[in-house]
Chains A and B, each alone.
Chain A
Amino acid sequence: MSQKPVHELDAVVIRFAGDSGDGMQVTGDRFTSESAHFGNDIRTLPDFPAEIRAPAGTLAGVSSFQLHFAHLPVFTPGDATDVLVAMNPAALKANLSGLKPHGVIIANTGQFGDRNLEKAGYATNPLADGSLSAFQVFPVDISRLTETAVEGTGLNTRAVDRCKNFFALGLCLWMYSRPLEHTLAWIDSKFGKTPDVAEANRRALKAGYFYGETAEAFPVRYSVRAAALPAGLYRNISGNKALAYGFITAAHKLGVELFLGSYPITPASDILHELSAHKRFGVITMQAEDELAAVTAAIGASFGGALALTTTSGPGIALKSEAIALATMTELPLVVVDVQRGGPSTGLPTKTEQADLLQALFGRNSESPVPVIAASTPADCFEAAFEASRVAMQYMTPVMLLSDGYVANGSEPWRVPDVAAIPEVKLDYVPQGSVFKPYARDPHTLARPRVRIGTPGLEHRIGGLEKEHVTGNISYDPKNHERMVRLRHAKIAGIARELPKTELAGGDSGDVLLLGWGSTRGAIHGAGIRLREMGRKVSTTHLRWLNPLPSDLAEVFARFHMVVVPELNLGQLAFVLRGKTLRDVRSICKVQGQPFREQEIIDKVLELMADINVSPFVVDVLEGARALTHASLA
């Protein structure tokens, strides 16, 4: 076999795109796993429609998976793609705008018939009409080649067709000099019960690989060297899975059992699925009749002593709000996970957004403060889950944990933690026989005492009515009410004592402080590095806790000429920060159901730095709306 030349690259962004039934998520997952095994740094972006099987061949049905794999550290799934694998015309059309100039298109010509071209809105075949001359196009009849490869396995036409993603995968693995072994082993374990399907997928995979090796169309192959990650044992992990592991670990270290009450909702359901599979760790999961029952069942379990958890997305939070306030009033631990998605209402169920921040902070009746923590990357979900659980139990309070579709479904390499090294968290319980007042306060945390229900002599009643300080009896006394409102507030505000000093990437002072929260960390951090490389005095920082905020924030802000907050909403954190710090905070807003690209942040920061007198928030929003209107009219 002739050896084709191999070109070294630092980083590659590849996007697999096809019909939602084409298996693009599997292809992406496998390529990710191979790249991770190889030692690359990786970030992924699965992007799929809400419909399970949207009409085949249409733009609405396009499902894609983007992977950034690199020799250098990467923080995002990549701004623009180097390689687009398009399994049909709709996949090409939907993803072409993200492709770099001279980028590679591998197109499955077998699906570029008249009917599919028409469905995608192409008047002529783009592979033939010269419209793709700015790119390197590799037309491959993946459909037919797959058919040939799996001939004789006895599969029907439909099943044969479903093997073509493995052909595409095999071709890409060859192109980036990746071995086949892991994927072959994976096929064996995944399709072990259907040997004919396993055999067909194996053949398709190898056929794709060998096609790359032999076909003259592909003159070179590429290689991306391993990244210099900190030493240790690694695995790939998605945000939802990391959350589940974080909660199981937290329950273990807290010495209690985990109870999850949940109702299926995209993109949070995977946490329910994952936790339901781990009963041997004492995890109790209840798929409730609705969001209200999911959270209240968790509150019932919390009253019984559990680490109580409920998981949902924005619309579910809206339904749970009253119950969360009950947990605030009765001062019972509860962790509420909001995997945010585009809204309002049903919105964009499978797309990402950060627009539930104000709902998390304020979306309950009256003065009902709730600590809010945000996970910033898939692997970070583990720690965020642990922290949320610890604070909920130690402070006897509901805690809101914000994730989003991007963090939940995205994945990254994770250095596997040494579970034994994670310290246990000791919880104090009121001992039997002691004088007990349900609403007495721990002098440090202001938490009320924790009672094991079932302890003789400690029988007491709690509820949603206002409590008398210390005794916990129902009280309508005006002064008592204000005292309790302030106590509940002070308890949550006091968590700030635990927060570390705000850490900055870049200088301790400068022109611009770029501050973010949640899933924007990668893009902000990456943009900060590049801005500094351009000689700009830009530092970046990221908030883990949104309530309470770190107490040194105003002081940190004072060291910068300008504070800029990129958010996937219309400036919700910026709104809060202005109120809390009295600093003018500028917004970079994006609400397209997609994460930030580094370049978008860089461009906007440079623009703001050039014209620092522009009124920030209002102009951003209006300009954004105007620009979109103009674009749609054009």
Chain B
Amino acid sequence: MNTPMTANSDALPALTKKDFDAGVDVRWCPGCGDYAILAAVQKTMPSLGVPREKIVFVSGIGCSSRFPYYMNTYGFHTIHGRAPAIATGLKSYRPDLHVWVVTGDGDGLSIGGNHLMHAMRRNVDIKIMLFNNKIYGLTKGQYSPTSDVGTRTKSTPVGSIDTPFKPLSLAIGAGATFVARVGDTDAKLLPLILQAAHAHKGTAFIEILQNCPVFNDGAFDAVMDKKAKGDRQLQLEHGKPMLFAGGTRGVAWVRGKLDVVDVGEGKAAMADILVHDAHDPDPTVAFALAQWEHPAKPVPMGILRAVERPTYDGALRAQLREATDKGPADLQALVTGNDTWMVA
């Protein structure tokens, strides 16, 4: 993985977390997972070595989408679902800017599903943080496209009936080149993921499991619980064997399927345990892992996939350069065309 520090960081005055605080009252509900994410982002930004004025946060609509107001960078709180499209236009026009998108499960996967999908397909060099709380918060508690089947809300009084999206599967299916998952309160992993996403050239998709204490409290408790998480999370590290539960369990191919095996004498050998290869051009393993859910399987955390592919904005600029390199453009010649006549 690339190192997060960039070359021009020596030239910059050292920024601190406070430099990225917009200094306005934060208006999320007490206990909202968004606070932890905001703190982690503000804390990580100085380490990226990017001047504040070159950073833009773009969001859609929803609780998470208030995020740009709290960042002392350039910011654009747009309309429901459209943040990836707005970010695509901005990044295509201004490749010098570092564009971050903040969205949620409703904003990104429901009303804006199409744009999210196409941004990842195009591999626009933008960083997308999807705060997944499995619920609509700002509209007061309706079920979302990631809510579990049977979720009872005001709009689904006897339980939701539709199968939820698995955001990481969707991202991999759409061709995302960087796909990661992290919990809101994971103060250790979240900055690392943000740094890696920044260093990645192309669309980075980060699913952040985020607790909504008002409408869906504890949705991720089983996975995020400090004591149980060793058994319930599969912490992925590139080049390391996929082990969890203190190294007693691991991931291996079993009869043609990716599965969990016990490791040890009389059980699976370490040689059978898959070594995580985030850069594998073949998305098969990443996709299989993206399907895993608690309680049937450990929940993969960290960077599932980080592969290289030309970016949309890069290719677009290359075409422009190629055209402009052919010589100065003659506007008069364009307007005149080559089929004219004189009237005396």
Contact = CB atoms under 8 A, between A and B. Distances in A.
Interface in A299-324: 299-306, 308, 322-323
A69 to B, nearest CB: 14
Contacts of A330: 76
Interface stretch (B2-10, B207-215, B233-241, B319-327): B319-327
Contacts of A308: 89
Given A259-B89, A463-B76, A234 B340 contact: yes
Contacts of A292: 81-82, 85, 114-115
Interface string A394-423: 000000000000000000000111111000
Given A248-B331, A304-B97, A460-B74, A299 B340 contact: no
B265 interface: no
Contacts of B74: 453-454, 459-461
B343 interface: yes
Interface stretch (A32-40, A165-173, A442-450): A32-40
A249 B88 contact: no
B60 to A, nearest CB: 10
B93 A304 contact: yes
B96 A282 contact: no
A326 B78 contact: yes
Contacts of B68: 461, 463
Q: Of A281, A420, A463, which is in contact with the most chain B CB atoms at under 10 Å from its CB?
A: A463
A248 B333 CA distance: 13
B331 A463 contact: no
Given A234-B341, A257-B93, A454-B97, A303 B331 contact: no
Contacts of B87: 300
A235 B339 contact: yes
Contacts of A606: none
A473 interface: yes
Contacts of A304: 89-90, 93-94, 97
A278 B334 contact: yes
B343 A297 contact: no
Nearest to A382: B335
A418 B322 CA distance: 28
Nearest to B317: A284
A245 B334 CA distance: 8
Interface string A272-310: 000000111110101011101100111111111110100
B341 A303 contact: no
B343 A301 contact: no
A229 interface: yes
Interface in B296-344: 316, 319-320, 322-324, 326-327, 329, 331-332, 334-337, 339-344
A391 to B, nearest CB: 21
A299 B89 contact: yes
Contacts of A280: 323-324, 326-327, 329
Contact of A416 (B61, B78, B335): B335
A231 B344 contact: yes
Contacts of B337: 235, 416
Contact of A453 (B79, B85, B94): B94
B334 A281 contact: yes
B324 A282 contact: yes
A234 B342 contact: yes
Nearest to A306: B93
Interface in A221-279: 226, 229-236, 245, 248-249, 252, 257, 259, 261, 278-279
Contacts of A288: 85, 118
A160 B327 CA distance: 42
B75 interface: yes
A462 interface: yes
A39 B319 CA distance: 40
Nearest to A310: B89
Interface string A59-85: 000000000000000000000000000
A627 interface: no
Contact of A417 (B117, B335, B339): B335
Nearest to B68: A461
Interface residues of B, number: 59
A507 interface: no
Contact of B82 (A231, A293, A415): A293
Interface SS of chain A: helix, strand, loop or mixed?
mixed
Interface stretch (B46-54, B158-166, B186-194, B223-231): B46-54
A226 B344 CA distance: 11
B219 interface: no
B340 A454 contact: no
Nearest to B80: A322
Contacts of B331: 248-249, 252, 281, 419
B119 to A, nearest CB: 9
B315 to A, nearest CB: 12
A459 B72 contact: yes
B73 A300 contact: no
B336 to A, nearest CB: 5
A525 B214 CA distance: 66
Interface in A416-469: 416-420, 453-465
B18 to A, nearest CB: 14
Contacts of B24: 473
B86 interface: yes
A454 B76 contact: no
B86 A229 contact: no
Q: Of A226, A229, A415, A453, which is in contact with the most chain B CB atoms at under 10 Å from its CB?
A: A453
B152 interface: no
15 contacts: A233-B342, A234-B342, A236-B339, A248-B334, A286-B316, A288-B118, A293-B114, A296-B82, A299-B78, A300-B92, A303-B56, A304-B97, A454-B97, A456-B52, A461-B22
Given A300-B58, A461-B22, 17 more contacts: A232-B342, A249-B331, A281-B334, A286-B88, A293-B82, A297-B88, A300-B85, A300-B93, A301-B93, A304-B90, A323-B79, A454-B53, A454-B97, A459-B53, A461-B74, A462-B75, A464-B78
Interface of B: 22, 24, 51-54, 56, 58, 61, 68-69, 71-79, 81-82, 85-94, 96-97, 114-115, 117-118, 316, 319-320, 322-324, 326-327, 329, 331-332, 334-337, 339-344
- 7 residue pairs, one from A and one from B, having the closest CB atoms: A463-B77, A300-B89, A297-B89, A461-B75, A300-B90, A279-B323, A300-B86
